[in-house]
Structure 1
Amino acid sequence: MEVVATAIILLHPLSALAVIWLFINQRKWRQKSTILKGSERQKELKNHEKNGNKLFFYVIGVISLAFLSKIFYFQIINGEVGISDLIPNHFHGWAGLLGLGLMIYLRHLGLRA
């Protein structure tokens, strides 16, 4: 059972790495936007907006996956899950929630632009 618990816990960091890679690609828009002109720029802008919206929901998914993996992990290892098991008790956990707040703000800025 510990192998299953470990596999479940690893889902969160692996999915987070994928989202970070998408973030890096999304950030390249700043460089592209200065070079592109006309209809090609409009096409890339639409693509940037579409990918940004997806990325927002992927971030929510990664954070949700962190909580779900903790639930499954504690259920497998301890046989029960308490509220105290779900409350972040270290910097990494709180940073994820802070990151969600920053992502909401970033999306708000993107929608206004």
Structure 2
Amino acid sequence: MARPEVLDRIQAAEREAEEIVESAEEDREERIAEAEREAEETRESAREEADKLESERLDAAREEIEAESEAILESGAQEREQLESRARENVDDVAEYVVIEFEERVHA
């Protein structure tokens, strides 16, 4: 083979190697960009899931607090009714006591 032909083949092989390297670099850049997009999507999905869980937990806590509050109010209402009932039962006794005390002090 003549020297110019060998030189042409070497140059052609070098151009082909450069094209292969350039193509590989482009492929690498595309893969990196795709991996970054996927990572951002994963982060956003995780953020959304965390927000959803937080919201669900807050809702559950609010419901629990509301239920406890209602139970406390109901218990307080029952206690108040019992106290009022006992007070009504004692009205006659208290009135009689007050009258007796008054009479004793007036006659004293």
TM-score by length of 1: 0.33
Larger Rg computed on CA atoms = 2
Q: Which has the higher helix share?
A: 2
TM-score by length of 2: 0.34
